[in-house]
Amino acid sequence: MITMTNLKQARLRATLMAAILAGSLPGPLPATVATDPARPVIPAPQDVPFPGVIRLHVDATDIARRVFRVRETIAVTGAGPMTLLYPQWLPGNHAPTGPIDKLAGLVIRANGGERLEWRRDPVDMHAFHVDVPAGATALELQFEYITPTDPSQWRVVMTPDLLGLQWEKALLYPAGHYVRQIPVDASIQLPASWQFAAALRGAQREGDTVRFERTDLETLVDSPLFAGAHYRRVDLDTDPESPVRLNIFADAAAELAATEEQIELHRRMVREMTTLYGSRHFRQYDFLLAISDHFSGIGLEHHESSENGVGLGYFTDWGSNTNVRGLLPHELNHSWNGKFRRPADLWTPTYNVPMQSSLLWVYEGMTEYYGVVVAARSGLWSPELTRDILARYAAMYDAGRAGREWRNLQDTTQSPAINYRGRTSYTSWQRSKDYYTEGLFVWLDVDTKIRELTRGRRSLDDFARAFFGVHDGRIEPLTYTFDDVVAGLNAVAPHDWATLLRARLDGHGPGAPLDGLQRGGWRLAYKDHPSPSAKESEGAEGTRDFLYSLGLSIKSDGRIGEVFWDSVGFKAGLAPAMTILAVDGKAYTHARLVDALKAAQQDAARPIELLVRNFDSFRTVRLDYHGGLRYPYLERAGKGEDLLAAILEPRVPPAAPRKK
């Protein structure tokens, strides 16, 4: 929200708007709202160099209190009003998630110590106004970025063994410039003898202080840093022009013990991905991987790196951590899809201009698709495990997305701004970030359709290479629109793609959007026991899924987790957070509920009787359900070709070097 009282700025803004409308500059710029003439002006961002440098130093040594201490020097060119912004709209979040509540202790000085009183903007909580006194050449800022001490406050990012620093949470920047036009000299003080990794260039370490070579604010913010006491670096691709590294940090040194076989699977994953696109848009790619039970989980893409946070056992309990192996291929895929090629309406010149996310079904949906496909091609996932994972996703749309009736896939792309990390009571009805997995099925649909139209001569891989693989070596983002996607598909296989895509994006069913699965030679079916993948996904607190039978997930103490809208349990009046105390007159255990489901399956006259507690009220609920236990899996559909197997087939022979 910008007020614009200055005529010069208004003229400039008109020029910029004309340029945007003419298509020569990516938009949008923030709207002007002149409701309060007394409100200070926040200059609109301009694509002109910031006259000076920001010097940013983050002291990351207070890991016990979990506080980052920031010292920042921002050059100024003269006296008068100035606005400093705390990043609000964050790339990858696509939402106004900049944690302004975690900035504290802000003191601004100039002219060798004179304290300047700052004023927060009355409307924009992320903007601070200050009057620069005559003679000042720079503002000196100090403040803290107070990180969560409990996961309920947000992600825990400082532990006794490792930390993650996202620079945008530890800086203010001057309004009025595109962030790519603001040079920054960044440095960090690490806890004693900790190692670090980041995609930033030219690191010079002196003791525990690390200085990075000058970069622009956009690159800095896109290059977070992990550091820790237990660290191991593994080279996944030693190509000197664009190496790929796996930087592993963990709670304990024992967690770093990846075997050569495990590492080789990750190397194959990188080879499969770079072969798919036939290009690279990074100078060097750093996977930042935290293996921890304390550092909060994360999967966040950047152009030349990614933040990945997984639980203990990623390497050391390999067989019990299979689903999570899809994380790294997903994040690597974003270097092409999301970072290099970026939806035009998502690109913004600064972190304080609202984003629009209408194309997240490409950005995330196709990334989810190739995350799965490349996990399978590389061998991180077996074909059977991959089918089990697809079965779980398919079943969710078959039985757990009643909300498709009122809310289409297109509307879910606005979920980040609506409810970025918030939990929902009834996700099956409210919906959430469904553009990931429903988007995956859109792309499976498109892939199998291309193969059908071209009798197997072409595939979505051809689109991926042509659309994301252009301009090998270019780092600067290249934006695209819906029409560009349609044109790209038509160049691979002529078809009415616009109609097909709009039907998927704007439609409401009925039924799950599983045409691609069927065309791939498989269909969703149910059996009476969960797949290993489904078992693994049941998660903490001893949760068992009865989602595809009763529409419920239940913790070991009988507490109900999820209730599918319009399911058997829902219709009987069950809701999340109620507790099932007894099944057929006996204290609740999962085994007793399983027995009751089996007994009711044998006897159509026998209901399942539950004693349920809701706050201090008790009630008996009878479920007239006789379908038995049901868990999703995929079975072959007809006798046609197994296209899905062809899609998941490795492209790169095991140990072959990358072809340029």
Which residue lies nearer to Zn ion by CB, 129 or 433? 433
| Separation of alpha carbons 631 and 564, rounded Å | 15
> Residues 306-345: x/- map of binding to Zn ion (CB under 5 A)?
----------------------------------------
In the numeric block, which tokens belong to residue 435?
Answer: 């553009």
As measured in angstroms, the least distance from the Cβ of 370 to Zn ion is: 11
Element (H, E) at 519: helix 515-519
Comparison of 196 and 340: residue with beta carbon closer to Zn ion? 340
The string over 130-154, giving b where at least 16 C-beta atoms fall within 10 Å of a residue's C-beta and e elsewhere, is: bebeeebebbbbebbbbbbeeeeeb
The number of angstroms, rounded, from the C-alpha of 245 to the middle of its chain's C-alpha atoms is 20
In the bound state with Zn ion, the residue whose beta carbon lies nearer, of 367 and 549, is 367
Report the nearest approach of Zn ion to the CB of residue 215 (Å).
Answer: 24
Instruction: Find the shortest distance in angstroms from Cβ 588 to Zn ion.
Output: 38
Nearer to Zn ion, 429 or 435 (CB): 435
Using CA atoms, how far residue 270 sits from 137, 331, 386, in Å, is 47, 11, 18
Closest CB to Zn ion among 249 and 363? 363
Residues that bind Zn ion (rule: CB under 5 A) add up to a total of 2
Smallest separation (angstroms) from Zn ion to the CB of 145: 25
182, amino acid identity: I
Q: Name the residue among 369, 268, 374 with its Cα closest to residue 648.
A: 374
Query: Which is closer to Zn ion, CB of 189 or CB of 367?
Result: 367
- CA–chain centroid gap for 173, Å, is 25
DSSP string, 2-25: B----HHHHHHHHHHHHHHHTTSS
Rounded to an integer, what distance in angstroms lies between the CA atom of residue 371 and that of residue 367?
6
Question: Is 121 or 368 the residue whose CB approaches Zn ion more closely?
Answer: 368
Q: How far is the CB of 569 from Zn ion (least distance, A)?
A: 32
Which of 307/364 has CB closer to Zn ion? 364
Residue 314: phi and psi, rounded to 5, are: -50, -45
**Nearest-approach distance from CB 364 to Zn ion, in angstroms:** 5
- From 100-108, 131-139, 200-208, 360-368, give the range in contact with Zn ion by CB under 5 A: 360-368
- Shortest distance in whole angstroms from residue 140 CB to Zn ion: 38
Q: How far is the CB of 410 from Zn ion (least distance, A)?
A: 18
List of residues 6+ apart from 413 with CB closer than 8 A: 357, 358, 359, 360, 361, 435
Within residues 361-390, the interface with Zn ion by CB under 5 A covers: 364, 367
CB-based contact 374:110 (threshold 8 Å): no
- Select 350 or 367, whichever has its Cβ closest to Zn ion: 367
Pick out residues in 512-551 that bind Zn ion (CB under 5 A).
Answer: none
- Shortest spacing between CB 535 and Zn ion, in angstroms: 25
- Say if CB 650 and CB 373 are below 8 A apart: no
| 274 vs 306 by CB, closer to Zn ion | 306
Q: Which residue has the tokens 């291929």?
A: 329
H helices of 381-436, in order, are 383-399, 409-412, 415-419, 427-430
| Sole window of 94-102, 306-314, 358-366, 386-394 interacting with Zn ion (rule: CB under 5 A) | 358-366
State the minimum distance, in angstroms, from the CB of residue 554 to Zn ion: 30
Burial of 479 by CB count in 10 Å (0-12 exposed, 13-18 middle, 19+ buried)?
Answer: middle
Part in contact with Zn ion (CB under 5 A); list of ranges 126-134, 149-157, 357-365, 509-517: 357-365
Residue 383 burial (10 A CB sphere; 0-12, 13-18, 19+): middle
Binding site for Zn ion (CB under 5 A): 364, 367
